[in-house]
Structure 1
Amino acid sequence: MSWDAELAAVTSRIADRLFKRPEPKATFGDLVRGLLADVPRKNSWQLADHVGHPTANPIEWLLSRAKWDADVLRDDVRAYVVEHLGSADGVLIADDTQAIKKGDKSVGVARQYCGLTGQVENCQVMPMLIYASAAGHAFINRRLYLPEDWAGDAQRRKVAGVPEQVVFATKPQQVIDMLEEERRAGTPFGYLAADCGYGRDPGLRAYCHTYRIAYVMAVPVDLPLVGVRGGGEPAGHVLDRLLAHAGPGLWERRSCGGGTKGARSYDWAAVAVSLAVQLPADGHTHTLLIRRSVSDPGDVEFFLAHAPAGAPVTELIAVAGLRWKIEENNETGKDLLGLTEYQVRKWDGWHRHVTTAMLALAFLTVSRAHLEGQSIPEPVPPAADQGKDLHHQESLS
């Protein structure tokens, strides 16, 4: 089947679930096709021009005023991704991205930290969840973060169409909510990966311990651990004592996956630890992974792994290395698929546009997997030296 025919089949099947009338079905297919096209800016006017609409009205109506449920589309995107990329050892990866906006009318927009620029900007913050396996990686869930001022402002909520049941939630709590949706949907995965903004959150870790979810998440240098004499000890002190005990022999060089410039190699150390206030799930253990840059030995990052007892450290390193896949998806979604180029301001419009862009990315990912002959996903390979495992330092807890 040709690329165009396959796209038409996918969008038609999904549109049949979303709409009853032929007009919105056709417009939905045109919207997805436009997002995938080489259009300089993916706003409604340029998309309409590309697909041959005389005005932007059909697309604007579809996104802002038509009656349909973006969560049904989200469920279909998830099912499509899992159908083609799913694997029992797939990895869920959480992170947030931002859309810089002008004014104060767009839902959720506020002056807040923006990872794009590393400073406070007028922006929307979007916690996202992707699914990654050996066959590829694509978005499967999303949230729009509402700052407390927004969540508690009845007038702004009414104007923006925020549903009554939506209340303030931290970004880690929004990831918990997405994980709960994935559990209920039966999404197959072996690990969760996330950066320090999520790994430092005790609520997210507690949820994973309760439901026996394995994870590898970056954590801060002051993460409280149990020291050798039973008192509290930050993660950074663990590294100091390991260096004093093992010296240069502490590190082993490993690849945590391929990048645009080849293998991404770092020096790694691993030690069994206990969290000061949280126990792992039954049959699971905590491991502190310490990653050091090869070119800059002062650049050190910590990861906390919660995994079944006996899980090889190379497997944990491989999961840690997958976290950057969501950065790829964010970049592709924004640069190629108009993920944040919407002109909608309200709650429904935001969810409809972003979820449609998620479908466009899923289609690209699945198409690439089929072209590369990976329609049947393979297990995530070890990070390096298959069959060998990184030396696991004696527990310091």
Structure 2
Amino acid sequence: MADVPRKNSWQLADHIGHTTAHRFEHLLDRAKWDADALRDEVRSYVIAHLGRADGVLIADDTSAIKKGRMSVGMAGQYCGLTGQVENCQVMPMLTYASAAGHAFVNRRLYLPESWTGDPQRRARAGVPEHVAFRTKPQLVIDMLTEELAAGTPFRYLCADAAYGRDPHLRAFCHERQISYVMAVPIDLPLVAARGEVEPVGHVLDRILALGRAGVWERRSCGAGTKGLRVYDWTAVSAAVAGQAPAPGHAHTLLIRRSVSVPTEVEFFLAHAPAHVPVPELIDAAGMRWKIEENNEHGKDLLGLTSYQVRKWTPWHRHVTIAMLALAFLAAMRAALPADADETAGKGKDRLLLEAPAG
């Protein structure tokens, strides 16, 4: 949490007066400690301070653009930071969010097949033998399994369309009776009234053809950096082709339309117990952006991707320590008096860094 431009071993060592970075490097590489055990402690700390029965888990991946080919997981792959293929590492993350606050509780490093299928490259980076290729949605399934085993209290899983489109992730949620509100692509196959399969986009076409303003309802889905995020919403019952909901649950298609640019539309598939009110689903859809805030604070304030490590173990240790720092700040912010929230929009970074240590 020090005021250091890049939170790597050398700059942190210089900040506290060390002549070398050996001690920080030892902590991340050779020291004897378990990053997964620390991850479990971070989760317990977050739940103790922010846990609520109506909390949500949010899945998304973030990227770290790096140079060279030696850093574990490094490959030419899609980078969410730039929207194009970059030489980067991709890390699926899991955030816990409630009315009290939000912080990371789990993490994974995505290893492309070019890594998992190269024994020499794996050995140089210290990748454990048991680690096999897993898609990003499969890594989220692994993290969800850990959260269920840990008893993490949450009502919904939220994610963007990169995860909502994956049938295996949805099937896992159906099998475990996990409610979710995930963005989905326009070509997600649904079952139409007469039994034929049609893409999600056709539902919007029929709604627009009705031409009735009353089909849409203007609602906020939460507060953003510029105030309430207000959109026009509509909802219809849905049947996903080849994928039934869990017993007692139902699928609902939420359609969100921009107020200022009506052609900007996003689709959300909700899986929840039957008769859950639509406003609750809209609120859940709005929680997805909390992980974007965690990514921003993690990178800009806490050096989440400032590392200069190349191997598997140091990567997990650095990222988990950054998660711990964010969890501490989120817990301290949650303990501030209610009127402190009024200043959050004016200087949220300062509020995070200046939270009282008591």
TM-score, reference length from structure 2: 0.93
1:167 matched residue in structure 2: 132
Q: Which residue of structure 1 aligns with residue 163 of structure 2?
A: 198
1:59-208 to 2 correspondences below 5 Å: 59-208=24-173
Output aligned runs, 1:279-358, within 5 Å.
279-358=244-323
3-state SS in 1 of match to 2:228: strand
Q: How many residues align?
A: 339
Kept after mapping to 2: 8 A contact 1:173/1:204: yes
CA shift at 1:240, angstroms? 1.1
Task: Please tell me the residue identity of whatever aligns with 1:47.
Answer: L
1:262 aligns with 2:262: no
Give the whole-Å Cα distance in 1 for the aligned partners of 2:337 and 2:280: 24
Contact 1:243 1:250 in 2 (8 A): no
Deviations 1:4-49 (A, max 9, x none): xxxxxxxxxxxxxxxxxxxxxxxxxxxxxxxx11111111111112
C-alpha separation between the residues in 2 aligned to 1:372 and 1:299? 38
Q: Which AA in structure 1 matches 2:205?
A: D
Give unpaired runs (5+ residues) of structure 2: 340-358
Shift of 1:146: 0.2
- The one-letter code of the counterpart of 2:166 is D
Runs of 4 or more consecutive aligned structure 1 residues displaced over 4 Å after TM superposition: none
Partner letter of residue 342 of structure 1? Y
CA shift for structure 1 position 358: 0.2
2:240 to 258, 264, 275: 275
The corresponding residue for 2:343 is none
**Could you report, residue by residue, the CA deviation over 1:27-72 in whole angstroms, capped at 9, with x for unpaired residues?**
xxxxxxxxx1111111111111223333211000110111211000
The one of 148, 153, 176 aligned to 1:211:
176
Q: CA offsets, 1:345-396, max 9 Å, x none?
A: 000000000000000000010000001359xxxxxxxxxxxxxxxxxxxxxx
Letter in 1 for 2:317: R
Gaps of 5+ in 1: 1-35, 375-397
Structure 1 position 250 matched with structure 2 position 215: yes
The secondary structure found in structure 2 opposite 1:323 is: helix
Partner AA of 2:41 in structure 1: D
Q: Which moved more, 1:53-62 or 1:97-106?
A: 53-62
Output one character per residue of 1:140-193: Cα deviation in whole Å (capped at 9) or x when no partner: 000000001111100000000000110000000000000000000000000000
Question: Between the two proteins, what is the percent identity of the paired residues?
Answer: 74
- Determine the C-alpha separation between the residues in 1 that align with 2:54 and 2:201: 31
